[in-house]
């Protein structure tokens, strides 16, 4: 049984050595994967030093899982990764936002109906305005989240 990979710290950039430790892969393997997987493009600075971002560390972990745990070949992993990226793009184009780990709260419509029947008109209007503001903010948040990918 293989030990779990360490959690990824909240940093903007990671050196190749740090990524190697975080992903359980040697640095020369990471450099090789850069040639094989076009999606993997770390930023290079002085002296050709590589700096990986958080999303690239996640991608390396995904590649590692495909190759080492699921038994894909390099070619198969490349194709599978391409499929996964395409699925993510399609979801974003369709306006879907991935909210993994977010609890969905079910609300019965009848509770709003009861409120509308019992509340005075000015309170209902204030409530409707607040709902519209919250709705607008949620759409803005969704747009921000989808534009960062």
Give how far Cα 74 sits from Cα of 5, 31, 137, Å: 21, 14, 43
* pLDDT at residue 84 in the model: 85
> Is residue 62 predicted with pLDDT exceeding 80?
yes
Dump the DSSP string for 99-126: -TTPPPPP--HHHHHHHHHHS-HHHHHH
Residue 116 confidence class, pLDDT cut points 50, 70, 90: low
The residue among 145 and 99 whose pLDDT is bigger is 145
- 76: part of which helix (H) or strand (E)? helix 74-93
* pLDDT at residue 1 in the model: 39
User: What is the length of the chain?
Assistant: 149
Residue 130 confidence class, pLDDT cut points 50, 70, 90: confident
Residue 149 confidence class, pLDDT cut points 50, 70, 90: very low
CB 124 within 8 A of CB 63: no
- Segment 2-9 long-range contacts (CB within 8 Å, at least 24 positions apart): 5/61, 8/54, 8/57, 8/58
- 50 has which bridge partners? 44
Residue 35 confidence class, pLDDT cut points 50, 70, 90: very high
* Distance from C-alpha of 58 to C-alpha of 46, rounded to nearest angstrom: 24
The residue among 48 and 149 whose pLDDT is bigger is 48
Say what angle helices 16-23 and 54-64 make with each other, to 10 degrees: 40
Q: What is the pLDDT of residues 84-110, one digit of tens each?
A: 888 888 877 776 555 555 555 555 555
Q: What is the CA radius of gyration of the chain?
A: 23
């Amino acid at each position: 049984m293989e030990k779990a990979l360490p959690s990824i710290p909240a940093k903007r950039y990671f050196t190749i050595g740090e990524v190697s430790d975080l992903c359980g892969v040697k640095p020369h393997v990471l450099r090789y994967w850069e040639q094989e997987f076009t999606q993997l493009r770390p930023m290079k600075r002085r002296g050709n030093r590589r700096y990986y971002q958080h999303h690239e560390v996640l991608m390396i972990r995904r590649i590692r899982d495909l190759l080492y745990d699921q038994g894909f070949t390099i070619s198969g992993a490349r194709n599978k990764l391409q499929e996964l990226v395409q699925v993510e793009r399609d979801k974003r184009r369709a306006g879907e936002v991935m909210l993994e780990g977010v609890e969905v709260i079910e609300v019965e419509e009848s509770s709003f109906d009861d409120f509308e029947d019992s509340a005075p008109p000015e309170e209902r209007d204030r409530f409707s305005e607040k709902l519209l503001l919250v709705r607008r903010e949620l759409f803005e948040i969704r747009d921000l989240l989808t534009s960062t990918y």
